[in-house]
Amino acid sequence: MRRGIFRGAFVALLGLVAVLLPTVATQTIAGASEVPTYRVTFTNNTSGQYFTPPNFAVHSNAVDVFDIKEPASPGVQAVAENGAVPVLAAELAGAVDDAGLGVSGVGADAPIAPGATVSFDVTSDERKFSLVSMIICTNDGFTGADSKRLPHDVGQTFTYDLRGYDAGTEINTENLADIVPAPFCGGTGEGTGESNPSLAENGVIRVHPTLQGIGTIPDARDWDNNSSIVTVTITRNS
Predicted confidence (pLDDT) per residue in 173-229, tens digit: 999 999 999 889 997 877 765 447 899 999 999 999 999 999 999 999 999 999 999
Query: What is the pLDDT averaged over residues 20-45?
Result: 71
Sign of the C-alpha dihedral computed for residues 51, 55, 57 and 62 taken in this order:
negative
Predicted confidence (pLDDT) per residue in 99-155, tens digit: 999 999 999 999 999 999 999 999 999 999 999 999 999 999 999 999 999 999 999
65: domain range? Answer: 10-212
Q: Does some domain include residue 222?
A: no
Split at pLDDT 50, 70, 90, the class of 6 is very low
Q: Does some domain include residue 219?
A: no
Q: Does some domain include residue 136?
A: yes
CATH code, 114: 2.60.40.2130
Q: Does some domain include residue 120?
A: yes
Residue at 4: amino acid letter: G
DSSP codes, 126-176: --EEEEEEEBSSSSSEEEEEEEEEPP-STT-EEEEEE-EEE-SSB-----G
Q: Does some domain include residue 132?
A: yes
Q: Does some domain include residue 225?
A: no
pTM: 0.89
What is the number of structural domains in the chain? 1
Predicted confidence (pLDDT) per residue in 141-174, tens digit: 999 999 999 999 999 999 999 999 999 999 999 9
Query: What is the pLDDT averaged over residues 25-35?
Result: 58
